[in-house]
Every structure is written in structure tokens, then in C-alpha cells.
Amino acid sequence: MAKTGIIGAGSWGCALASVLDRNGHEVTVWSIIEEEVSMLRECHEHKDKLPGVTLSEKIVFTGSLKEAAEGMDLIVLAVPSSYTRSTAKKMEPYIRQNQIVVSVAKGIEEETLMTLSDIIEEEIPAADVAVLCGPSHAEEVGKELPTTLVAGARTRKTAEYIQKVFMNEVFRVYTSPDVLGMELGGALKNVIALAAGMADGLGYGDNTKAALITRGITEVGRLAVAMGAKEETIHGLTGIGDLIVTCASRHSRNRKAGMLMGEGYTMQQAMDEVKMVVEGVYSAKAAIALGEKYQISMPIIEQVNRVLFENKPAKDAVKELMLRDKKTEHTTLEWE
């Protein structure tokens, strides 16, 4: 049995708490919101973010960061990406040397262009930072539907420990050393999912979505490889797998926000309607900045940024993508 702390009581934090509890581990979940802690203690269900999923009475819910972080075998950092740095800074006094901290949010910091694991390492130098991601919606994990993720870490030992702690008959975990590739795939697919949602909102069909997914993963892959990630990762669970589920699922908040924008909502109106953090909005500017830094063409992500921040109609963005200059699909293939 492992002592585990979940920092963040949103849908994903609660779903992972349920997984760890079912695996026989001791689980403490922290939230900064007093009303949220009270609701979880009284109802053992997150009625707003994970309705219908009953959380075990053995799970401890607390508003004390010290209680959730100090002396744990493993800590899961599950706050939205925009709060990763501030939360990690508050956690730092309670983290011992080589403490495993697993980041499960997805995003890139706009100001620094740092991945979340880099941010945590900067704020908590003592931590052994890892990531856990893949095609997974909290709603399905909470209902114990079969799900497969990847544990990424600097060392095989850490990745395999995380794999052992989380894995069960409905929650399969692979391991990978390519933390950068995993994080880039997880963050940038949210931007592509906004585009897929916009296409849905405009009433376009499966042909359009298939094109966005395929060309979207090409954009993500070009950038990720230029930054030092491995192409295999982009073609795996944390790349194309995560992109497919986020572009297609009714649970996807990025797809839903994009759909609303396709229907004519502004970015802020869409985010207000979704009522949860839309990570793709926070990663979109960072993605463009990274593309410029590494001189990578990212036409889909560029158009998403224009819809988000320049009030460009989604229909015009799709039209511009369709009317780009003629291209060959794979520049590495040669004619006979």
C-alpha cells in the first residue's frame, strides 16, 4: 500500500483518487476551495464535475496542503495547468528529497514556453517529477471503463513504480522515457481539438474532422521532433491516441468550447458555458510562439489563435485552411 496525495479535487483528481483507492492505497485529496472540500466530505461525490461517481468513504478530503503533501509515497498534481506553478510553489516546503510528483494536467506556460514538468522541477528542485497522460476522460475512468495511459519519467525505476501503483484490470499503464514528447502531445492536441469542435459547430462532417486530426498530428509531430521529442511518442497513446479522444468525445471540454465558437460564441462566452478550464485556450498562444521559435509551420494552430484572440469567424478560418497553396502530403517521399 502506498500513501498518496492528490493535489486538486477536480474531475480528473477525483477520478484518479478513485483508481488509487480501488487499488488499495491510502488516498488524501486536497482542494483550495472550502466549499468543495465540504461537499466531498459530506456527499462523497463531486456533484459539479464528476456527477454519478461515488467516491469511497476511505478517501480523505482536506483543505490543508501540508496534510495532502507531506510524507507521501507519491503525489499527483492535478490542478489546471495555469495553476501548476503557483501550486507547486506552495507545495515546496512539504516535499522531501526525491519525492515522486506526478503531473497529470496538460499545458504549456505561455510566458516561459515551459512544459508543466519543467515548471514543477523549477519550483520543487527536490522532486522526482513524472507525468501520467493518454486518451482518458475522467467521466469514463470514474465509471471504471477500460482506459490506457502512459507513465513518463526520467528513470525507468520511477516510471515502473507509477505503473505499479496505478495499474489494474481496467486501468492499463505503459511506461516511457520521452516525457517531453508526452507533454507536447498532451498540450498541443487540446488546440487541435478546439479546431475539431469549431468544425462540428459549423455543421461540417466526418471528412473535415478526419482531415483536422490527421493534419493536426502532423503539425504537433513536426514541432515536437524539432524540440527533441521522439516521433514514436507522437504516433502513440499520448499523441495520436490523446488527439483522437479529445477531438471526438462528448466529454471533451476543448471540443465543446470549439463547437460553441463554431456556433458563434466568443471565446469567453464559450469558456463560461463549459464551466471548466479549457486548457487549449491557454496553450494556443504558447504553441504559436514555439512554432516561431523552431521555425515550424502550424497553419491549423495559427487559425485557431486567430479565432480565439482576433475574433476571426471560424468559418473563415476553415476556408483559409482549405485554400492554402498546393502542397504534397509527405515531403520525405520521392517520385520515381
Residues designated catalytic = 189
- Residue type (1 letter), 32: I
Q: How far is residue 175 CA from its own chain's centroid?
A: 17
In the numeric block, which cell numbers belong to residue 205?
A: 462532417
Q: Which residues pair with residue 147 across a beta bridge?
A: 171
Tell me the three-class secondary structure of the chain, residue by residue.
CCEEEEECCCHHHHHHHHHHHHCCCEEEEECCCHHHHHHHHHHCCECCCECCCCCCCCCEEECCHHHHHCCCCEEEECCCHHHHHHHHHHHHHHCCCCCEEEECCCCECCCCCCEHHHHHHHHCCCCEEEEEECCCCHHHHHCCCCEEEEEECCCHHHHHHHHHHHCECCEEEEEECCHHHHHHHHHHHHHHHHHHHHHHHCCCCHHHHHHHHHHHHHHHHHHHHHCCCCHHHHCCHHHHHHHHHHHHCCCCHHHHHHHHHHCCCCHHHHHHHHCCCCHHHHHHHHHHHHHHHCCCCCHHHHHHHHHHHCCCCHHHHHHHHHCCCCCCCCCCCCCC
Task: Rounding to the nearest 10 degrees, give the CA dihedral for residues 261, 265, 269, 274.
Answer: -50
In three-state secondary structure terms, 3 is strand
Position of cell 517531453? 180
Rounded Cα distance between 310 and 130, Å, is 36
